Structure 1
Amino acid sequence: MRLNKYYLAAFSAFFVWGFFSLALKPLHDYPSLDILFYRVFFSVVTMLLINLSFRKKVLKKDWNHFKSMAPKQRRSVVVLTLGGGVFLSSNWFVFIYVMNHISVKAASLAYLICPILTTIFAFFILKEKLSKWQWFAVMISAFSCVLLSINHFEDIFYSLITAATYAMYLVSQRKNSELDKFLVLTIQLVFTALILLPFYPNYSGTLPTESLFYSCLLVIVVCFTIIPLFLNLYALKGINSSAVGIMIYINPIIGFLLAIFYYHEQVTTLQLFSYFLILVSIVVFNEKLIFSRKLKGAPSELEASK
């Protein structure tokens, strides 16, 4: 039963993220950069309050651990943490722009191809190996992207940029495991806020006065940033990252369904076929994990019946 709690936490995190457009779309009249400014600033304040109020022991433990590291290891942690902050903030900005100024479909597609794109980057950067089935899945996904680019080049272009920035963030953080993950995220957002702060006076619009802006932003920061991150961190305590990774597809599938049935975005037969190919590539890519689970589950059911 305890293991089920971790799966439920992972499922809940990506399920919640799937409805991100409901809080973001009402802000489509505001510049994407303004939304990024306030999302980062508000998130930093919230996360600092959480760390300083409830996680003082973790802060002290990680600070002592950081000081005890060799200079080379310490430098690596700093580079990976701050570099990750740049990739994460870039992803947030591009995602906000795509969601509000391109289409919800394009934003959903980004996170459908993100896991496979992450693996490709990991293959070339981290020298991680891919099986023949996984390479086949990559080719299926690439072919579907080519189909989607027909008469919709802008959608696929922005989807790939969004996916690439988040994929680079994930790849850069795979070796950044020395410090507490929530603390690392807090440092990354603080670093991002410090980078954005000098640009705020010249590149931000007029200070929003509408209650809609702040109510939506509060929902984005709490419901679509802090809470899902907490659930994700909790899930990783009880199940491995590959199990959590499969559930990332809950997010874009919900987003794609919202694009069709809620926002009434037009979808062609070719686009539907392309999304279907991406779903096929997802199953093929994770065939070892999916089918091994079924095989492992069978004996336990037989044992239970005895």
Structure 2
Amino acid sequence: MENRTIGVIYALSAYVLWGILPLYWKLLQHVGAEEILSYRIVASFLFMIALLLIQKSWSTFLHTCQWLWREKKRAAALIAAAMLISTNWFIYIWAVNHDHMVEASLGYYMNPLLNVLFGVIVLKERLYKWQVVSFILAAFGVVLMTIEYGKFPWIALSLACSFALYSLVKKVIKVDATIGLTVETMLVTPFALAWIVHSFSEWSRPSFSLMTMLLLVGAGPATALPLLYFSKGAQHISLTLLGFLQYISPTLSLLLGVFLFHEPFTNAHMYAFSCIWTALLLFSLSSTWEKRKEKSLNM
């Protein structure tokens, strides 16, 4: 099988799993978002440790930890990454289990635009004319939704900003995906364990069934596997193709929210999504066109 085909399979698997992940969190709707997040962090850390042992990458992990101890700035960046991804996870879990899946999907449609915006501001990357137009159109969609819907779409923007900042930090520090996720979950595991211990205190003891406990433990593989598949896919296919495939995830979440869980999809949502979808189409086409133009000039 060709590397490109393997890459597409891995990337598709990652985005489909991310797209249907709300179904998993819905099974835990009776559990508080704070507790789900805590178990998700601890279970993810244990799963990543097991994966490192299976892959015989333990020495690489220890070497990375020693390197981060010496490189204080990179260590601080990884701490920031751990905080950002934890915040993103919490907001998403809360949104799904409080019937805001449609707005959450809007956030992940906005994410690639914010990725480029942060790249321009922080990394001084170049922005093309039609990409500027796409940003203005996306911003107009957010303003329209705020006016028509009567409230600011903080869930969508919080999810988009937290993940875009997380992606920016990861791009700057350049740590292996598996090692990076292990370190990130390790950094926040003490706080997650503290919350779990608190939840089992005498005055707030939760009564979880066996199925609930299994689902909480399963949050580790449910979190780590899509990330690992994504990393594998990114190694074998172009960023352009990866960019187009990434819209599978929020599209699946949007469809689940509207058709399975019957969340409202009002005119305000339609206006906002239409602006975002048009902006994404402009953005993707302009990016592809500019890359082809640069390639032809360099020939």
Under TM normalisation by the shorter chain, which class is it? 0.7 to 0.9
Please state how far the C-alpha of 1:188 moved relative to its aligned partner: 0.2
TM score, norm. by length of structure 1: 0.85
Distance 2:256 2:187 in 1: 34
Please state how far the C-alpha of 1:164 moved relative to its aligned partner: 1.1
Structure 1 residues 172, 201: closer, same or farther in 2, change over 3 A? same
SS at match of 2:173: coil
Contact 1:102/1:155 (8 A) holds in 2: no
> Aligned pair 1:191/2:202, yes or no?
no
Matched with 2:59 is: 60
Identity of aligned residues (%): 23
Quick check: 94-103 or 12-21, which moved more? Answer: 94-103
Provide Cα deviations, 1:260-305, integer angstroms capped at 9, x if missing partner: 111111212342232122111111111144457999xxxxxxxxxx
Structure 1 residues 152, 221: closer, same or farther in 2, change over 3 A? farther
Structure 1 residues 70, 111: closer, same or farther in 2, change over 3 A? closer
Distance 2:185 2:67 in 1: 24
Provide Cα deviations, 1:84-134, integer angstroms capped at 9, x if missing partner: 111111111111111112511111111111111222222222222211111
Distance 1:33 1:70 in 2: 30
Distance 1:68 1:12 in 2: 33
Query: 1:217 is aligned with what amino acid?
Result: L
Distance 1:81 1:242 in 2: 27
Structure 1 residues 212, 200: closer, same or farther in 2, change over 3 A? closer
Please state how far the C-alpha of 1:44 moved relative to its aligned partner: 1.0
Distance 1:68 1:259 in 2: 44
Count of residues in Structure 1 that have an aligned counterpart in Structure 2: 289
TM score, norm. by length of structure 2: 0.87
Quick check: 252-261 or 265-274, which moved more? Answer: 265-274
Structure 1 residues 279, 68: closer, same or farther in 2, change over 3 A? closer
Matched with 1:229 is: 227
Structure 1 residues 292, 218: closer, same or farther in 2, change over 3 A? farther
Please state how far the C-alpha of 1:41 moved relative to its aligned partner: 1.0
Contact 2:92/2:104 (8 A) holds in 1: yes
- What are the ranges of 5 or more consecutive residues in structure 2 without an aligned counterpart? 294-299
Distance 1:70 1:210 in 2: 41
- What are the ranges of 5 or more consecutive residues in structure 1 without an aligned counterpart? 296-306
RMSD over equivalenced CA pairs, Å: 2.6
Provide Cα deviations, 1:56-88, integer angstroms capped at 9, x if missing partner: 3x34246557767995xx223312222111111
Query: 1:225 is aligned with what amino acid?
Result: T
Matched with 2:37 is: 36
Matched with 2:23 is: 22
SS at match of 1:27: coil
Matched with 1:82 is: 79
